[in-house]
Amino acid sequence: MKIVAWTKAIYGDSQTILDDLKSAAGIPAGKRVVMGSDNEPHEIDVVAPNVDEDEFAKYNVCPVGTIASGEACLIDVEEKPLYDPPHPKDPHKWGSGCYGEGTLCPDGWIMGEKTEKIMIRGTPKAFKSAGIVAGPGDEGIDYFEDKHLEAGVKADVKTKNVCFKREQMPLEYKWIRLITDSIIGWGGYSEFPWWNLPWDAMIDVADDRYKNGAQLAEKKGFAVCKHDYNDIYCLAFEKEEDAKYAKEELDYFDFTKGDIFEDTKKYLKDEEGLKEKEITDEMVYDRINVEREFFWDDIEGRYPSYLGTMRKRWVYDNESLMVVEKREKDKYRKIVTIVKEL
C-alpha cells in the first residue's frame, strides 16, 4: 500500500458553500471565513493532514486509479468488488461474492472509492477568505489574513466502491509524526481507516511529545535489551557498532555467566593484594557492582551514539518503537526512536 496524495475535507455552515468550494484544494487549513455565492460570509473548517503542500491532490480529488479512504489516495492495495447482491427471485439466496448478510466487505477489508474518471469543467473562481481565531475570553472572533484566493476548477468525478485490504501501519517516522500530530491537534483528522494502528503506542507517544517535549529521532537505530530480575531494560544507539559493544559489556556483567566472577576474584588478588582465603562472595559481588556503576556513569563517554535508556517499548515484527530517556546537564531528554534489537 502506498499513499500518493492527500485531500482536504471542508466543513461549513451551508451546503452551497460546500458545493462551491469542494474542489478548492488551495484553501489553507484551519477555520476560515469565506464569501459565498450568496455574497454573504460563511464560516468553514478546512481539515487536512500535516504534510507538505505539494502532497495534496490536484483539484482536491484522488487521481484516476487510486482509492480514496479518509483523506488519503491509495495505490498498490489488494482489492476486490463488494458482495454480490441478493438473487432477484430469491432474496434469501446470496451471490457467490457474499461476505455475510449486511456486510459489504469481508473481515479485515474496508470500503473505499476508486476514481475511474475525472472530467474538468468550468473556470477558476476568485473568492475572499480570512482566517479566524477566538477573541479574549472566547468572546467573538478575530479576523486575520484577509486574502483573495482562487478556487480550483470544477471536477466531475466518476468513482466506484470497492473493498480493499487493511494493512499494518509501516513503522516509519513520517507516519508516527503524522498520527501523533493528529492526536495532539485533532482538528477532525484523527482516523486512519486503511491501517491497523497501534493506538495505545501512538497515544503514549503523542502524550510524551506534547507534555514532555519528546523528540522524534532522525533515523532508525539499534538497541540491546537485557532482563534484570523480573524487569527488562534496553539501551538505544544510533550506530549498530556501539550497540554491539554495549551488548558485549552487558553480557559480561551477567552474574550467571561466571567469567566476571572469576575475573573479579583475580583482580582482588592481583590489584588489592588479598589472599584467596580472604576473598568472600560478598566482596566479589560488591566489586562487580562498582564496575557496573562505572559502566553506567560513563556510558555516554564510551558510546557517542547513545540515545538513551528505555522508558516505554512496543515490539513489532523485526523492529521496536521506544521512548528512551537521556540525561543532559540538569534535566532528562526524551527521544522517540525506532530500533532493531540485537
pLDDT for the residue numbered 33 = 84
What does the pLDDT look like over 130-155, one tens digit per residue?
Answer: 887 665 554 555 656 667 777 777 78
Q: Across residues 318-327, what is the average pLDDT?
A: 95
Mean pLDDT, range 300-319, rounded to an integer = 93
- Determine the pLDDT at residue 41: 80
Residue in 5, 122, 126, 144 with CA at minimum distance from that of residue 62: 5
- Is the pLDDT reported for residue 178 higher than 90? yes
> Buried (b) or exposed (e) across 159-195, using 16+ Cβ within 10 A?
beebbbebeebebeeebbbbbbbbbeeebebeebebb
The chain-wide mean pLDDT, for the chain, equals 84
* Residue-level pLDDT at 90: 52
Q: In angstroms, rounded to a whole number, what is the distance separating the alpha carbons of residues 319 and 171? A: 8
Q: pLDDT tens digit string along 212-234?
A: 999 999 999 999 999 877 789 99
Which residue has better confidence, 10 or 115? 115
299: Cα separation from own chain's centroid: 30
Look at residue 95 in the predicted model and tell me its pLDDT.
45
- Look at residue 297 in the predicted model and tell me its pLDDT: 85
Neighbour-count burial of 93, counting CB atoms closer than 10 A to its CB (0-12 exposed, 13-18 middle, 19+ buried)? exposed
∠ Cα 170 181 22 (to 5°): 95
pTM score of the predicted model: 0.81
List, in sequence order, the alpha helices (H) in 99-213: 173-185, 199-212
28-53 tens-digit pLDDT: 888 888 877 777 788 888 888 989 98
56, β-bridge pairs? 6
Can you give the pLDDT at residue 208? 95
Which residues in 105-262 belong to E strands, given as ranges? 109-121, 125-134, 141-151, 154-165, 167-168, 195-196, 215-216, 221-228, 231-237
Q: How confident is the model at residue 94 (pLDDT cuts 50, 70, 90)?
A: very low
Question: How do the domains of the chain map onto residue ranges?
Answer: 2-165, 199-341
Residue 265: partners with Cβ closer than 8 Å, 6 or more residues away: 276, 279, 284
